[in-house]
Amino acid sequence: MCLKNIIAPVVMLAVLTSCKKDIEQSKLAFDVTVINNALQPATTFKVGDTVNFKFNGNPDKITFYSGEIGYRYQYRDRVTDDGTNTILNFTSALNTAGSSGTMKLLVSTDYTGYIQNNAVDSIAVAKATWTDISSRAAWATTATATASGPISLADYAAQKKPVYLAFRYDADTGVTQAKWTIGGIGLRHYTTDTAYLIDSTNFSLPIAFPSWTVSPGWGSINASNPLIKFIFFTGANATSSVASVIGTTSFVVTGAASATSAVTTQNWIVSGPLDLLRVLPDAGVAIKDMSENAMFINKGFYASLNANYTYRFTRPGTYNVVFYATTDTKDGQSSSAKTITLTVN
């Protein structure tokens, strides 16, 4: 028999065996066992107990979702909510009454946006269609800060498109003009169990748009009488910036105290575009990556008698704990999500 006829099948068998091993090694295998400190399988624990998770398999990465609010696997990609429960709150103070000087709360769905160029902004804000919703709020009548009360924007949230909020100050010529302070702005979208902050007094207004899913902030527009405008305060310090920055606590506009010097005045503070349905995706905790403990067997699992990972719940409830595991191969990525329901008493 020819020697090469013997060698060829042997080589082919070795190649096929090697390929089979490569395929087997590329498949993701992953499992999780839950045990208590007595090393017994368990799914019921008490608040403060150590929950021990024991891993088996070969993932390169593991992400942990505890099932608590803000850390739920099923909401990891959620950035919007179908509910329309969006509420605005703020405070106002009428520091000096004057004979003129009103404050209004307005909303627009067709404003083109603030660009920090007053010549352009003053034209754009005038062209937009603004709806006066001042009657939805309680307003100060003295220098004592007055809470607006919850202002529902559900009717605008239902439209499912960006909106803009504005506070507008108007004062007349030839009469004393009021001083107003607006602060404590908080715009939140409420789900069944969580409130998500969309905008506040101290959000920084971005320079570049669109960025309405991140930080809308506020901008100042002088429509008439450049001598009077909204001043932004950070703590007790006034800033000359025309756009809000992180740490802004209030917006103050001071009209003319003397009737003889008073001229017609209109000034605005406007928000960036607002997604009234915006929520933040829930987060997972990365507990293993490809480089972690690479010298150990099982691709980085901790060599622990009790567990590869431990966790303590601080509140009672039923939690769907998820470990999301992935492995990367030359053929792509494989993933597996292991869900364990735990009861914490």
Find the mean pLDDT for residues 163-181: 97
CA 305 vs CA 19, 49, 52: distances in Å: 35, 17, 10
Burial of 226 (0-12, 13-18, 19+ CB in 10 A): exposed
Identify the CATH class of 27-77+282-344. mainly beta
Which residues, in sequence order, are CB contacts of 327 under 8 Å at separation 6+? Answer: 26, 28, 58, 59, 60, 61, 333, 334, 335
- Please answer whether residues 84 and 189 qualify as being in contact, where contact means their C-beta atoms are separated by less than 8 angstroms: no
Strands 86-96 and 146-147: antiparallel
Helix (H) or strand (E) holding 198: strand 195-200
Q: Is 180 helix (H, G, I), strand (E, B) or coil?
A: strand
- Domain ranges (residues) in the chain: 27-77+282-344, 86-271
Q: In what side-by-side order are the strands of the sheet with 218-224?
A: 131-132, 102-108, 164-171, 265-271, 218-224
What is the Cβ-side half-sphere exposure of residue 16, based on CA atoms within 13 angstroms? 6
- In this structure, the number of other CB atoms found within 10 A of the CB of residue 240 comes to 7
What is the Cβ-side half-sphere exposure of residue 9, based on CA atoms within 13 angstroms? 4
Is residue 282 predicted with pLDDT exceeding 60?
yes
Q: Chain-centre distance of CA 178, in angstroms? A: 36
Output the six-digit token pair for 340.
């364990």
pLDDT tens-digit map of 199-253: 999 887 765 444 444 458 899 999 999 999 999 999 888 887 788 888 899 999 9
Name the CA radius of gyration of the chain, rounded. Answer: 30
pLDDT tens-digit map of 13-42: 444 444 444 444 457 888 999 999 888 999
Is residue 297 predicted with pLDDT exceeding 80?
no
From CA 96, how far away is CA 255, in angstroms rounded? Answer: 9
